[in-house]
Chain A
Amino acid sequence: MSHHYIEINELEYIYPDGTKAVEDVNLYISHGESVAILGSNGAGKSTLIKHLNGTILPKKGSVNIGGTPVTKKTLKTIRATVGLVFQNTDNQLFMPSVFENVAFSPRNIGITGDKLYKVVEESLDKVDALGLIDKHPFKLSGGEKRKVCIASVIASNPEILVLDEPTAEIDPKGIGDLVSILRQFSHTKIISSHNLKFSRAVCNRGVVMQEGRIIFDGELDEIFSSDKLLEAAGLKEDY
């Protein structure tokens, strides 16, 4: 599996209480692309995102990563390929130190000793957070937490990086840092956001969701220039 593409076919997911979160979603993302998933809250972005590493399994339709379908049996390989950074940072920093959090993932692959240290340091370096290595995650700022979360995920070297609302809880400077970090990554990137400016800085392709469906899939610039699209996606800053 050297070139990982993502193929989603007729995906549908319904929550236990009957809400259709995702409906009839078809998407193809090739290796190396940077795609922004846009839409207002409740549009289905998070639900879609969570399918990408099998946190949620499809009720109908399928999700394929590099030809491997996402099923209960393939979760291990999928998760080694797709790294998912969830929205809530606190819930991902469950180990008592930054080092431990970043080391969690490579440890699970079997990396130990000096090599482990190297991997952790490299990952933190890539997100410009090496100085935080011994800190307690509870004492970090929003931006720092986000960086450590990203480091924790890239530490296991996934080919595909998925981020769910990475700009939540971060100040504008922090967002700027995040942009420069992400731009350096060569992974295939899928980022869900309702921050248009951020998305534009990091991605070139945009997928707009509304009420669980994809209503647009194309150049990000097109979205920016269409008031109708912006409004339909609840992204128009109109105050």
Chain B
Amino acid sequence: MKTAQDRLQHLTAFEELAESDFPLNMVSPVVKIIVAVVFIILTISVNKYDIIHSLLLTSFTCFLIAIAPLKVTSVLKMFLYLSPFVLLLVIFNPVYDKSIIHIAGYQIYGGYVSAFTTVLKFINTTTVSVLIVSSTKFNHIASSLRFFKMPKFLIIQFMVMYRFIFIFLYDIIQSLQAVKSRGFQGGRFSWRNMKAIISAFFVKSVLRGEEVYNSMLSRGFEIKNFKFDDKVKMSDIFFGLCSLLYVFIVRFV
């Protein structure tokens, strides 16, 4: 279970990864997002019994892993943490789908095949999306939302919220430490304490929020400033087109 500490570390790790200079980091955020979305849609659209296409699309994922800052071990760890829900549902596939499929002369229940492809799809979609995000600076992600027509005030709100999350997570870690040190009777859950902590926290936060926002504004915070560095470069378009071409070919071949 992810604690506040884990989440804070996770977010901080992402910020650091985005700063590194792997090939994927160099690509324009808009291109990356478009490629990711198209990839996800194409991956999802594969028939659930179609192992070949699922595997072929996985090749693109592997390619991205190689050029992205995220290590393979980290990818595996994330997958392990995220998969329970999907696995839970898909475990039942063989039970309910007893249609027969032939592979290499063997007869297998369709359910096993669909379970396998679904897991593959899951790996592909989540990994690609994580890779894209980990290789892009947060400010660039936010400003690429502008490209996708998100209203300005919403983007600003999104950026402000993101910053607040860091502050809050840290606050919570502190509060939890304080609470624990005051003795919690073996860590049992006290509802009254929870409600009080939550509400006091909220009120404090609202008052604090305006101050943090003011200090951001005072230091020149403006949505205009966060355009990604330059217009989409030729190399970005090259990457985008090649990726899309590859994914399309691989999907429909």
Contacts and interface: CB of A to CB of B under 8 A. Distances in A.
B222 A138 contact: no
Nearest to A88: B211
B222 A76 contact: yes
Question: Mostly helix, strand, loop or mixed at chain B's interface?
Answer: helix
Give the bracket for the number of chain B residues in contact with chain A: 20 to 34
A83 B215 CA distance: 10
Contacts of B15: 96
Contacts of A83: 218
Contacts of B101: none
Interface stretch (B36-44, B51-59, B82-90, B162-170): B162-170
Interface string A123-160: 00000000000000010000000000000110010000
A84 B218 contact: yes
A76 B219 CA distance: 10
B216 A94 contact: yes
B183 interface: no
Contacts of B170: 138
B218 A55 contact: yes
Interface size class, chain A: 20 to 34
Contacts of B164: 94
A108 B216 CA distance: 10
B220 A152 contact: no
Given A95-B163, A138-B170, A86 B12 contact: no
Interface string B216-243: 1111111001000100000000000000
Interface string A87-111: 0101110111000000011011110
B5 interface: no
A94 B163 contact: yes
Given A76-B220, A153-B219, A94 B167 contact: yes
Given A94-B167, A108-B225, A138-B170, A156 B219 contact: yes
B220 A105 contact: yes
A110 B225 contact: yes
Chain B CB within 10 Å, residue with most, of A53, A138, A153: A138
Contacts of B216: 94, 104
A170 interface: no
Contacts, number: 59
Nearest to A149: B215
A86 B214 contact: yes
B220 A79 contact: yes
Interface in A50-107: 53, 55, 75-76, 79-80, 83-84, 86, 88, 90-92, 94-96, 104-105, 107
B222 A92 contact: no
Most chain A CB within 10 A, of B12, B212, B219, B222, is at B219
Contacts of B98: none
Nearest to B163: A94
B208 A152 contact: no
Contacts of A105: 219-220
Contacts of B208: 91
B212 A91 contact: yes
A94 B218 contact: no
B215 A92 contact: yes
B167 A108 contact: no
B241 to A, nearest CB: 28
A233 to B, nearest CB: 26
Contacts of B217: 55, 75, 79
Nearest to A84: B218
A90 B205 CA distance: 12
Contacts of B214: 55, 86
A108 B221 contact: yes
A96 B166 contact: yes
B211 A91 contact: yes
A108 B222 contact: yes
Contacts of A88: 211
Contact of B220 (A80, A90, A95, A96): A80
20 contacts: A53-B218, A75-B217, A80-B220, A86-B211, A86-B218, A91-B208, A94-B164, A94-B215, A95-B166, A96-B15, A104-B221, A105-B219, A108-B221, A108-B222, A109-B225, A138-B170, A152-B219, A153-B218, A156-B219, A156-B220
Ranked 4 nearest A-B pairs via Cβ: A108-B220, A105-B219, A91-B211, A92-B215
Given A55-B214, A80-B220, A94-B212, 15 more contacts: A76-B222, A79-B218, A86-B211, A91-B208, A94-B163, A94-B164, A105-B220, A107-B225, A108-B222, A108-B225, A109-B225, A112-B229, A152-B219, A153-B219, A156-B219
